[in-house]
Amino acid sequence: MRQFTAVVNPTAGGSSGTAGLLPLARLLREAGARLDTVYSRSLEHARELAQEAGARGHVVLAVGGDGMAGCIGGALSGTDTVFGLVPAGRGNDFARALGLPSDARELVEILLHGEPRAVDTIEVESAAHERTCVLGSVYAGVDAVANRHANASRVLRGAASYYAGGLRAVLAWKPAAYRVTIDGVRHERTGYTVVVANSGFYGFGRNVAPGARIDDGLLDVVVIKQAPKRLFFAMMNELKTGVHVKRPEVEILRGKEIRIEADRSLPYGADGEVDATLPVTLRVRPAALYVLG
């Protein structure tokens, strides 16, 4: 029987992240599994808790949203620790990419009996040459600005906070000149954003990179180029289904190492967290994390 440590973000989704764990905890314990629950004070603290639990041979569960999933999954990247996800945040985009069920009993079945699968992670190297790993995507441009607005919202929650943050960001946006170097080949583009995707979803279920796969050893680079703002809003609506990729303003490239630079100071985000500015260098780490899902 597997032993679990659940690392909880107490404020996931704007409410208690514990609420998302309670039904699973009861079912896991009824099945005879051991479950320890620990609470993080910060993302850095969550990384420490996850690594400590992994060193004890436990399956580590991230209870929260994409920020918590990326934080803990990144911390376990390159280890033998098995990672599980309990979606309890606003976006839950990596859980969506894994195809995890929303039903507690179905999720518990996966956690108890599912075979771990090896998935890729993204190594993120900042301008200061600090390195960390994340799971889903790194995005630099108007979406990072929008996500910053959404995370700061005290009134709106869930999809509403992303829509409001996106509207505010786009209306104030001025085109950025990007320099994107992919496996040594430089591409210069002007537009709204560059998204480097390990998984297809970001920003509360938007299928920004429909062709991205979490186990193919490659990163998809989605460039949304300059277009009138009315057209940009139409493209944002199309992200729900992925048909935006048919537009000439959308370009998709692929590679293993990507560096993003711009002509001005721009924020970039990773798995829902925004706290850095360009430039940034990203590298795929193939089959670096064992995931239940």
Question: How many CB atoms within 10 Å of residue 150?
Answer: 27
From residue 185, give the alpha-carbon distance in Å to each of 147, 252, 263: 29, 14, 18
Q: What is the mean pLDDT of residues 76-88?
A: 96
Q: What is the mean pLDDT of residues 95-121?
A: 96
Residue 162 has pLDDT above 80, yes or no: no
Q: Which residue has the higher pLDDT, 164 or 122?
A: 122
Whole-prediction pTM: 0.92
Count Cβ atoms within 10 A of the Cβ of residue 91 and give its class: 0-12 exposed, 13-18 middle, 19 or more buried: buried
Which of 180-194, 224-238, 276-290 is least confident? 224-238
User: Helix (H, G, I), strand (E, B), or coil: what is residue 194?
Assistant: strand
User: Band of the pLDDT at 14, cuts 50, 70, 90?
Assistant: very low
- pLDDT given at position 141: 94
Distance between the two ends of the chain, CA-based, in angstroms?
A: 17
User: Band of the pLDDT at 15, cuts 50, 70, 90?
Assistant: very low
How many Å apart are CA 260 and CA 196, to the nearest integer? 9
- Residue 214 host element (H or E): none
User: Helix (H, G, I), strand (E, B), or coil: what is residue 128?
Assistant: coil
Kindly provide the b/e burial profile for residues 47-77, where b requires at least 16 CB atoms within 10 angstroms of the residue's own CB. Answer: bebbeebbeeebbbbbbbbbbbbbbbbbbbb
Residues of the chain with pLDDT > 90: what percent? 73
Supply the DSSP symbol for 136. Answer: S
How many Å apart are CA 242 and CA 225, to the nearest integer? 16
- pLDDT tens for each residue of 250-267: 999 999 999 999 999 999
Tokens of 210: 């429909």
From residue 254, give the alpha-carbon distance in Å to each of 171, 201, 223: 30, 16, 11
* Domains in the chain: ranges and CATH: 3-114 (3.40.50.10330), 124-291 (2.60.200.40)
- pLDDT given at position 235: 85
List Cβ neighbours of 197 (8 Å cut-off, separation of 6 or more). Answer: 136, 137, 208, 209, 212, 219, 220, 221, 222
CA dihedral 242, 245, 247, 253 (to 10 degrees): 160
Residues of the chain with pLDDT > 70: what percent? 92
- pLDDT tens for each residue of 29-72: 999 999 999 999 998 999 999 999 999 999 999 999 899 999 99
User: Band of the pLDDT at 11, cuts 50, 70, 90?
Assistant: low
- pLDDT given at position 147: 80
